[in-house]
A and B are shown apart, each in its own frame.
Chain A
Amino acid sequence: QVRLKESGPRLVQPSQTLSVTCTVSGFSVTSYHVSWVRQPPGKGLEWVGAIWKGGSTDYNSALKSRLSISRDTSKNQVFLKMNSLQTDDTGTYYCAKQGRGNYFDYWGQGVMVTVSS
């Protein structure tokens, strides 16, 4: 059974770094791409970035300078790090498994992150 679960802090101070972990089961991160998608409260979905099954990464150009996505294949985990957080980075951060057509067929439950002092 495919499952993704995000874990990370619920509260981050402005200018600090967000670190979120996506723990995957039911598939290998070396067999499928995994993306991060975020959603500000009451708003729509924004693709943040992805780590391809081969290990390379791609980022939303608007966030690229602040973003890093990596993985630990031995633990089947994917990591998101975003620095210099601001209040408009507040939202729910999801990890999602990608299907072949670059759609997202399985999503984690998400982690709600608030950027506030």
Chain B
Amino acid sequence: DIQMTQSPHSLSASLGETVSIECLASEGISNYLAWYQQKPGKSPQLLIYYASSLQDGVPSRFSGSGSGTQYSLKISNMQPEDEGVYYCQQGYKYPNTFGAGTKLELK
């Protein structure tokens, strides 16, 4: 199975700050990488797919980049509603696998 290593495990950001979350795949995944946001008691919500495509309705302050085995999610201009846990997921090979998650809090 492809292992997805996410970092950091947690971080806190001030209002308006820019943050980045990294995801490293154990082998190349050809940009089959998605990012999700999950808030407490809610189901995950798709933010980014194909590494850099923004899902409809997601604010443009979210962006994704990367290739090969290394990918990142950038959140510009941190807002209170951006608090939550973020997961990466590879869809290149089955089983689909997720990163362990990054908890983002407002400082």
Contacts and interface: CB of A to CB of B under 8 A. Distances in A.
A105 B98 contact: no
A47 interface: yes
B50 A101 contact: yes
Interface in A93-112: 94, 99, 101-110
Given A58-B94, A103-B46, A44 B89 contact: no
Contacts of B65: none
Interface of A: 35, 44-47, 58, 60-61, 94, 99, 101-110
A47 B44 contact: no
Given A101-B34, A101-B91, A94 B49 contact: no
A94 B1 CA distance: 21
Nearest to A62: B95
B46 A104 contact: yes
Interface of B: 1, 32, 34, 36, 43-46, 49-50, 55, 87, 89, 91-92, 94-101
A58 B93 CA distance: 12
A40 B42 CA distance: 14
20 contacts: A44-B98, A44-B101, A45-B36, A45-B44, A45-B89, A47-B98, A61-B95, A94-B44, A102-B32, A102-B91, A102-B92, A102-B96, A103-B34, A103-B50, A104-B44, A104-B46, A104-B89, A107-B43, A107-B45, A108-B43
